[in-house]
Structure 1
Amino acid sequence: MMAVAAGKEKTKALWRLEPKARLSPLDARHAQDELADVAAAAAEDELPRLARFLSAKGPVQDFLAAVFDLSPFLRDLARRRPQILDALFDETVEERLAAIGQAIAMAPRAEGVSEQSLMMELRQFKAEAHFLIALAELAGVSETVLTVRRLSSLADASIRAAVDFLLRDAHGQGKLKLVDPENPTLKSGWVLLGMGKLGANELNFSSDIDLVVFFDPFAPAVIDPLDATELFSRLTRRLVRILQDRTEHGYVFRTDLRLRPDPGSTPLAIPVEAALNYYEGRGQNWERAAMIKARPVAGDIAAGEAFLKELQPYVWRKYMDYAAIADVHSIKRQIHAHKGHGEVAVKGHNVKLGRGGIREIEFFVQTQQLIAGGRFPELRGRETVPMLGELAGRNWITAEARDVLANQYWFLRRVEHAVQMVADEQTHMLPEDDEGLERIARMLAYKDAETFAAAFRAALLQVEGHYAALFEAAPELSAGVGNLVFTGDVDDPDTLQTLHRLGFQRPSDICRVIRTWHFGRYRVTRSAEARERLTELTPALLEAFGKTRRADEALMRFDEFLSGLPAGIQLFSLLQSNPGLLRLMATIMGAAPRLAAIITRRPHVFDGLLDPALLTELPNRAYLSARLAAFIDGDRAYEDVLDRLRIFAAEQKFLIGVRLLAGSIDATRAGRAFSDLADLTIGAALEAVSAEFAQRHGRIAGGRVALLGMGKLGSRELTAGSDVDLILLYDHDEDAEDSDGERPLAPSHYFARMTQRLIAAVSAPTAEGVLYELDLRLRPSGNKGPVATHVGSFRKYQRQEAWTWEQMALTRARAIAGDASLGAELEAEVAAILALPRDAAKVRADAGEMRKLIEEEKPAHDLWDIKLIPGGLIDLEFIAQVATITGRLTGAERTPGTAETLARLAPDYADATTTRELCDAYSLYLSVTQMIRLCLTSAFDKNDVPPGLADLLLAATDLPDFGVLEAHLKETSQKVRKDFDLLLRGKRS
């Protein structure tokens, strides 16, 4: 017995890792089987002492059995490479890791080394080091602080080996001329900064490594500065491949280069000067915080140190003033501090990013560093816990805060490592199942999951208590919104959940868009102040867009809008201080693609929204006339006048639409406003054209011009997207022959040419767009007739040759611009023509036949094709027009408006009930069509209605539900068609 005991003692003494922690497997029998499998692998690989050792009994064997049961990753690695365990008979973990570090450093110097052979060696060395580092922490012989330093040193060594190899390779190919090939990084100009946990020497077990790569194009090793960007970017790309490509030997480190300046639009390696310009001109708050941890890890270390030194004024503000504190808090405003509300769930909790997690401790430290580090250089350290000590030493935080946060930091890091050691996955989430949580508890030497959960929950609550207290004075998001973190270049999981909860279907895309704002790629976000204002506005913006129920589209349109703005501070401040305006902006972006497209193409139209009286002032003719006069006042060139008319019309169309959208005007008033705007701007265009034309061609003796507005313009019922129907009429002295200019023209040619010039002035696209699309087909003889018509010809045609439909169209004619006296004469003539006696039966029959022809040639698409559906707008317009030209109206004066005409139907033509039904129908149709035409540029598709537009339609019609609205439209159209058949066809439908 004594001999056996002595043998065991001797065997035990050979093992150089004595576990202090007692781990319990999930399944003791399964654990022994796993240990036996590794022993068998050792025997197969001719490692007899390891095989004997693993087959023996004792605390070391129990420890290893538990490890292999709890961590499939470590078990599989031990099976594949039992030599890793066998080496611990000859060296301690520390000695073996030192040897691995030396081997990694020598790897690129080996004779005949290739990229593939280096990749294989680095992967094998890394796997062994990874295993040993994990085993030492699980055994309790290495504190977590030592683990993170060992992992960071391993990463440093691997990066340096790859960099050395690549520099020598570039030297051998004549791409670089190294100062000293034996010391390839010397004055190479290639700067590799480790960021985040790598920079702070705090890597976690399965961590990515964050690198930022710069280069000096004028470094001694660089042959051609013009080729440097491509060369170093290519070398960086190869570096990433060497480190992270998965092969049969695994990978070294996943490598992330996205913390470089503006990663979406910059090369992998950036010139030092360009980087400095970026940070000093466009650098963001989170980038300041990130630079605290930046450390030269490979390449030209001296150049890296020089770069960081030059960057110090950007990172470390000299004076701690309120602006600096607000600057730091602008990062905080993206993060919701829960302040202990609600129970902390343990299962599925994100140890890094969740409530009370590692990120909160790191952020706690970094914000204090940013505030105070400018004055106290000792607060500029990279490592989290030492900086807690420095902050306490200078009374920036209490000793209690230091001790609590330091203890919980290392506790949470241990938990993070355990989570990652299970399967070597870059995860920070605790398992959501009971067995998974029990596994983590036992890896951390807790007796069960319940005990671990209690300790974990207590740690989180302590951390979030200190974290929330740090920002008690900082503005919070709306209650219950959740995390909104857009710093860095990796999506924050809680933020994705928050965005989804707010109504965004593609939260990752939304994060990418918001990060684009932060990078200052748009003119509107170039200044630090604008970015901070936008950062503060973002939560409210996201909430408002979320309520449109087309949140993704709304935000994408807003992004397009931002991309065209010249500046943003005023806008962002206004939106922040005016929730109503913010809601209106969200409505435009979510429900009104037409308006969104207008402000995207012409951001200046948004300036009109800055007027505080916008929603209280009615856009009547006097208001628009005064504004237009001021806008085109002064001695301006012809082209300038036309451009300013386009600018004015676009802005006012937009603002009229906004008033309709906001409910400050109704559909009828909107129609009048759109029509008044067309009258005034087309009238101003006519004046400009007439004056310009007269400079070359002179004037006709007694010449007068007037424009008749027809269709919806004549009836003052224009919508946001309406074309404009016009007839240009002229008169002159009977004996007038040619104009009196240097290039005289006969009257008919003169006015025809001037009309063509007017059409071009109004409809030709310029840099400022189109004023209006003009339609002159309602003139006598339509497209076959001359574009300009003499009043005599007009009078004769209308009295002797016009078809019934042309006289029906004339009921909406209205003089809108030109010579006032001629306009008055035309109005009187139109009234006289419409009052002529007619065969009422023939008129009704002609109208009925024409309506039938329209239905056959242009059938309605569906119920929402309100103009064309049976019982739709055309039916109502025909009823009004026929009543006008057959004298079936009350009162003497003609009214071109359809609504007013329907209200005046003679009692012997339509009874009071029918008249009321027709008026109600027109009001309904007008409300619906005005809103649809305002919001949409395409046809209305009832299966794809923006929810915001549906809400606007319900508000405009005062109906409770979209289905009710659709049923109401259907019922209304059936009534109108019945009335149409009765009044125009003399039959009941």
Structure 2
Amino acid sequence: MTALEFMAGEIPLALQADLQVRWAHLMERAEPFDAQWYGDMLASPRRGELLKAFSCSAIVLDYAQRFPDFLPTLDRNGWLLGDVPQEQLADELRAGLSVCQNADEAAAELRRFRIKYWMRIVWRDLTRLAVMEQTTEDLSVLADICVQQALDFHHAQMCIEWGEPHSKAGVPQRMVVIGMGKLGAGELNLSSDIDLIFAYPESGSTQGGPRSVDNQQFFIRLGQRLIKSLDARTADGFVFRVDMRLRPYGQSGPLVVSFDALMEYYQDQGRDWERYALIKARCMAGDDIAGAELMRDLRPFVYRRYLDFSAIESLRDMKAMIQREVARRNLHDNVKLGAGGIREIEFIAQCFQLIRGGQEPDLQARELKSILGTLRDGQYLPAQAVDELHQAYRFLRDVEHGIQAWREEQTQQLPQSNEARVALAFAMGFVFADGEANIEGFEQCLAEHRQRVTHHFENFIAPPEDEDGAPSSQRCEHWQLLLDELNPETLTAALAESGFENAEEAARRLILLMDGGAVKRMQSSGRERLDDFMPLFLEALSSAEQPTETLIRLIPLIEAVLRRTAYLVLLLENPHALEHLVSLCDTSPWMARQLSAHPVLLDELLNTEQLYHAVEKDGLRSELRQRLLRIDQDDLEAQMEALRYFRLAHVLRVAAAELSGTLPLMKVSDYLTNIAEVVLESVLEIAWQNLVSKHGNFADIHDARRHFIILGYGKMGGIELSYGSDLDMVFVHDLPPNCQTDGERPLDGAVFMTRLGQRIIHILTAQTRMGSLYEVDMRLRPSGNSGLLVSSFRAFDEYQHKEAWTWEHQALVRARVVAGDEVLAEKFTELRRSILGLSRDEALLRADVVQMRDKMRTQLLPKTKRDENNRQFDLKQGEGGIVDIEFMVQYAVLAWSHQHPPLSVYTDNIRILESLQQQGLFSAEDVDTLTEAYKAFRSQAHRLSLQEQSGQVADSQLADERGAVERCWQQLMLEEPA
């Protein structure tokens, strides 16, 4: 077939003449067998594929003329329509290189291989048999295979010439190739450079060759050969252009360095732009195991453990540089570098990675699509913004590929020639009904995408002074001058004028801080941040109710972050977060202490919607599960840190919501209890998996149950946790006797359960960088501290029926399952109801309860608080206080549940009181009285807790409530029944 005829509307007229000429040349050069394939393709339903690929890519048609068999071979293997197994690609190149005798033959083989599979990728991209993500992945895989096989070839050649490199300990050494940029992310374009860094594990020398050389010398020469085999332009073209400028010290640095030298460079001299570059880095060839270890070691340099707002200024400089470069180089028609281009989308994503990646492992992914999804799911960017950025990115990358497919030129510049413009619009699917290219429609759509990107880019990391509500520069300059001088009289006068109570003390504290050794030892960059922060801080304090007291509360926080001034930048960059900080700590010293102890919690101040709204239990459970899923199951330390942050963050949110008045008392306790329960569920799961990994499962038990529960007593059981509450717990199991695990180190079932309990307590109480999760009290288990840590259900049952004291049955009133096996939980619930429903001698029961109440008051109420001259009331232990109400409720449940089973259903006092009214045992008036008193006492206790004050109030406070409780106590517990 020597002529190519077109039907109406097949391809734009401007592309037909050139395609006819090139087609004729192809037919002249193709062998009959291959020419038949081209002819059959034109006559088949797939004719449109061929015409579009050849008309939109002159270079593909050029390559087809040089290698007429490539496309037919690919199609006969099914690889134009379908995927190519990666290992099959590697095997093909490996086999081709294995017969090469020298570097020149290897270079020719690499180039032919690259051309063949590059043609396949372009064909599939232009015909939309592959979506953009498949195209970039296939290109990256092609690069990986070429680099790996070329490296293996040259390494083997050099080992013959120089011997094999070994460490000083005699361990063979292989070079590691780190792919950067788009290669590292698996997002290469059709004409990408590949940015590489070379490194090797350890110093040493070669062994077994004609002469020994230093490892670095060996690997430098290996690197040079690898680059030449890929980058040098020969008669067959090139494989990939190689760029080594991202290595330490850039062009002036050694081509290859050891891992130690690489780490030392980044630790001592690494800059923010290098962190930015390493976000996409991956080991893509060479020693995979050593490379993976190197990437793990580099991660702390790239991703800080805390919210890294310290990178903001560098990123802002990068952003300004990008904008200046667009103007200077007239890049407006460049879909990568121009305004609204690919680079701006990547910049937005990578900024979030640098700032938040240390705390959000999902942001450590390399692929932009994955990062954008995390930004949407984590609500770091509005869903609409993410969708617009993602759609624009896919469109722009398709445009980029369309530009580069035309002549395989390394450009992202929109074409100027009419033929190329027509080909690009045609490749992008912008055609009229008559088949002509709709260039105007394409350019309009492109402009709309770029305008959206520009909008998001320009609004990203805007200077904080542009935000509404930021303090005026004049006020900040005023405070800055005062802090520069630190004159006590002048500073005191200015503070007094701004409303600081006890301005003299405020001035004294400020001078002590700014003149202190910790500030003087700060590095210059940290001191600059502190100097920028303090004027804003003082201005924000001036709006507090108690500016001086709030200043004193927050100085420990400032001192805590002097060596981690990224936290100051967080507040500098987010003026509203600074407002929340001052407002909350003005209201609560507890809040200030929490933030000072754990500055990482400042992150919680950034999202107002989350800060003042507690999360429902299912939401808590989902969030914690997602956090833990990102952590290696064997990394117990990381799991414990994640649990602690989760608990601290959500308790902080509950406190903020309570302080702001958006969360009532009963909901506060509910949420604090929910947090504890969700944490316990995860702790149990972690502890269980930890033991199973060491000792195996119970193979002789033919069910999937855990046979273990955690019972919550006291405030936990009563759904009444406060901010500093301990967890009163009891562990119970119902494993059959004589069962054993099936691991390499088997354990008896009872021993397994005991170790499970010990592991749970360890996870809860171990002191880590973020403190402990909870304090734990296990004294309510059978026989107290002398009893087994984990009781069998049978032993627990027998103890409750035969040995438990009245006070232990009182405790059982507030006991419930808070985590563990559902079947065993139901068994416990039935046991609890049966114990509470036992018939008891009411007079003896009343005497026991009263005796226990007197004993508690004697032991737990300080004598100074009971002294008549000390006019204070203890909310919990005082007469007419919280415990009196609790003991009345417990007495009622134990006395009357055998006749009124609904009394044993609930564990919280409020609902038990409601049940007593419903059963006709308490009058509505008494229930209302006790309920309101109970709420009032607990509300006051919560407020005192947030003020870090003891649980006492003036004797004149809550007198009516106390009197009502005392009357109820007298009637129920002290008067003989009629």
Task: State the TM-score, normalized to the length of structure 1.
Answer: 0.46
